[in-house]
Amino acid sequence: MRRRTRARELALQFLYTVEMKGADARDELDDFLVAAGASRVARAFATQLIDGVLAQQVAIDKVLAATATNWSLSRMPPVDRNILRLGAFELLHSTDVPVEVALNEAIELGKRYSTANSGSFINGILDKVKSRRTLPVAVKNPPDASDEDEPLPPDHEDAR
């Protein structure tokens, strides 16, 4: 599994935790990432994503609410809501992530951690969010050593 993919997976899990426990759960992030066996690079990227989503959550939620016609954020399953927040953050606030990568990673998280319909639901909303992107489009570079496949910890189960 690629380090950034693993970091997004961990970010989703932790954002869900924050939503369930409250903002004070942020203090548990370092312990969570270490216990998950994440590499140094994955921990750094996950932390960047989590802190970015939490810092921009009000603005992101406004964009999602305006984009998700016929769906209020409170009606969405918490996992889908947090995948959308993560994907919207990358689309709207990350200059180093190609649009296609942000979309595909969010869709795959939905397929892996939510319902059979979540992938298309997430794709539809984030495709509309993409049109609000004002950042320069990230240049797709070949993967560097920091994004190579890494072995998962022995206790990691592929939750499908």
Flag whether 147 is in a domain: no
- How many structural domains comprise the chain? 1
pTM over 0.85: no
Confidence of residue 119 (pLDDT cuts 50, 70, 90): very high
Flag whether 160 is in a domain: no
Flag whether 150 is in a domain: no
Flag whether 122 is in a domain: yes
Flag whether 143 is in a domain: no
Question: Which CATH number does the domain housing residue 43 bear?
Answer: 1.10.940.10
Flag whether 144 is in a domain: no
One-character DSSP codes across the chain? -BHHHHHHHHHHHHHHHHHHH-GGGGGGHHHHHHHTT--HHHHHHHHHHHHHHHHHHHHHHHHHHHHSTT--GGGS-HHHHHHHHHHHHHHHH-SSS-HHHHHHHHHHHHHHHS-TTHHHHHHHHHHHHHTT--SPPPP-PPP-GGGSB-PPPTT-----
Domain that holds residue 17: 3-132
Confidence of residue 149 (pLDDT cuts 50, 70, 90): very low
Flag whether 123 is in a domain: yes
User: What pLDDT score was predicted for residue 69?
Assistant: 85
Which of residues 8 and 138 earns the better pLDDT score? 8
Flag whether 146 is in a domain: no
What is the per-residue pLDDT across 42-72, written as a single tens digit (0 to 9) for each?
999 999 999 999 999 999 999 999 999 888 9
